Structure 1
Amino acid sequence: MIVFEIVTPGTWLDYEDREWTWRIEGQLRFLESQFFEANAALNLFIGAQSIGRSVADRENWERDLQRRSEIRHAVEKMHAGIQPWDNFDEIHFETEVRFKRERWATGVVPCEFEHNLSFIYTRAFLYALDAFDKFFGVLAKEEKVPADVATHHAKFADAFPHLRGVRNTAQHLEDRPRGLGAGRKPQPLELKPVENEFINAPNGGVLILNGLMCSKYGSTMSDGHYGEIDVSPESMLRLRETLEAVLSSFRWHGPRRHAPSA
């Protein structure tokens, strides 16, 4: 497990306007909450990536074959009076359904579930970063906040330039497969060139949706360009640098605070 720690310079903000202070402290807590949500999603993603579909050895293969045969005989008895080859498809279908349900009841996880875990946690990481950005943007526009906050927000946008575009595609997958951009009246996409270590489309024309290449989650964005977010400790380090810089922009009093909890 990878834990990214945060140190807040104090316990409470040190400003005279208590109503303003209470509101800003709440927004800072939201930023911290999204930070740890991203940290949790990263750990879940790494765990899911480490799960390999077990390769059945000969003993298990023979056991499954024998069990399928037993189930098949039971199904054939239910179709007494009909030659098995006359009803082969139905017998095979029912045999497979019974076999799979029996396996699931013992705790065997369908490969579709294992495959999708990485995508679920990847999108959780993406949404946590996006929520962090949204709260950050609101905070940066608050009156009387230190000017450095807006500067750090701009640096955050530079560190994650594709965040909003990738998130929007993830939320609007009903449009991109139809070749449409964003908005109430989305316009046709002009697919731009894509050239990286996994994709080579120098002339464009390639639509990429819900792509996961190692730790990089990417999609074609509404402007036709390909964008990606790296679900990695490096991204969390940049996120931590941003959050701690924002916290340090304010005046605090009281003992320093360390998070997360034990």
Structure 2
Amino acid sequence: MNFNIYHSPKLNIQLTLIAQTIILKTEEIDKILDKYYGTVNPQIIDESKFFNEIILETSKEKLDEYFSIGRDVYDQLLEPIKKFLEDASLALSMYENTKEFNSKITLEDIKNRKPIDEIPLDQFQRLLFIYAHSFLDAIVKIANTIFVMTKQNKTPFIPDDVREKLIILKDEFDNEFPHIIDIRHSWQHIEDRMRGKGQNEKNIESLMLVLSTLYNDNLTYTISDGTQHHITINLDTFKRAEYYVQQTFDSFKWVKGRNR
């Protein structure tokens, strides 16, 4: 099979740049930039000269502290959230290509149970559900990562002004994807939902339970409160998630630094 991976040129350029050449900007580094370079764009500052002057003005201990802040944020949070978006991209590509293959299945194929790439026909059709759930899982991981970044006790190394931006961003994400975590929770605890049980073994007050239904690209579940909700497995949903990942990166201030 040939799979087309969905990517945004803007996002890829931004994330590649960040991965290769930057550290988080701190107030101390801001002061040195202002002293030696004024309002010059830090992206064009000579790298070796820039770091030599930071070392002259900052103790080695403090400098390591600033670098560790940058590594903590990038390695623990930003690199993973980028990978979660890539997971969503791959899952969506697999989903779309599988859907295309399914559309070419004929009644004769169904009658003869013709295998596709040595996968039994009935099993091949289940791949749509596997990829749809993988897509859901990746989007929820993005949501959870942003959530963790809004909590001072969980990520104390994030500056307060950045955290304020992330709190607003998380609220926007929740409005964009309402009940998405509840949907995944129902998927992960489907054995409870099948018994009509919600969280803490409470009965679900619903006349009809919808469990892992995929119709018109909508992956639908009945959640604990008895209401039905879905996530749409398509490029529009991916692009909206991509926007929030980009905004997460853009919430931080960056300055050109040494290669990682």
Shift of 1:244: 1.1
Shift of 1:56: 2.6
AA partner of residue 202 (structure 2): Q
Shift of 1:154: 1.2
* Residue aligning to 1:3: 6
Show CA shifts across 1:64-91 (max 9, x none).
7xxxxxxxxxxxxxxxxxxxxxxxxxxx
CA distance in 2, matches of 1:3, 1:107: 24
Change (3 A) 1:107 1:148: closer
Contact 1:212 1:218 in 2 (8 A): yes
2:25 to 14, 23, 30: 14
2:247 is the counterpart of 1:237 = no
Change (3 A) 1:169 1:253: same
* Residue aligning to 2:133: 123
2:45 is the counterpart of 1:34 = no
* Residue aligning to 1:254: 256
2:224 to 205, 216, 222: 222
* Residue aligning to 1:46: 96
Shift of 1:243: 1.1
1:208 to 207, 210, 214: 210
CA distance in 1, matches of 2:6, 2:134: 17
1:23 to 59, 69, 72: 72
AA partner of residue 218 (structure 2): K
Shift of 1:246: 1.3
Q: Which has the larger radius of gyration?
A: 1
Change (3 A) 1:107 1:139: closer
CA distance in 2, matches of 1:14, 1:188: 51
Shift of 1:108: 4.2
Shift of 1:109: 2.8
Any idea what SS the aligned residue of 1:244 has? helix
Shift of 1:14: 2.0
TM-score, scaled relative to structure 2: 0.70
Contact 2:183 2:221 in 1 (8 A): yes
Residue pairs, 1:56-67, within 5 angstroms = 56=108
CA distance in 1, matches of 2:150, 2:80: 14
CA distance in 1, matches of 2:252, 2:96: 34
* Residue aligning to 2:149: 139
CA distance in 1, matches of 2:140, 2:239: 16
* Residue aligning to 1:74: none
Contact 1:35 1:239 in 2 (8 A): yes
2:122 is the counterpart of 1:112 = yes
AA partner of residue 180 (structure 2): L
AA partner of residue 6 (structure 2): V
The answer for unaligned runs of 5 or more in structure 1 is 65-99, 192-204, 256-262
CA distance in 1, matches of 2:139, 2:243: 14
Contact 1:4 1:39 in 2 (8 A): yes
Contact 1:208 1:219 in 2 (8 A): yes
Shift of 1:55: 3.6
AA partner of residue 108 (structure 2): A
Contact 1:211 1:219 in 2 (8 A): yes
AA partner of residue 106 (structure 2): S
CA distance in 2, matches of 1:33, 1:19: 21
Q: Which structure shows the higher helix fraction?
A: 2
Contact 2:140 2:181 in 1 (8 A): yes
Shift of 1:40: 0.7
CA distance in 2, matches of 1:231, 1:152: 22
Identity of paired residues, percent?
23
Contact 2:210 2:220 in 1 (8 A): yes
Shift of 1:20: 2.1
CA distance in 2, matches of 1:44, 1:107: 14
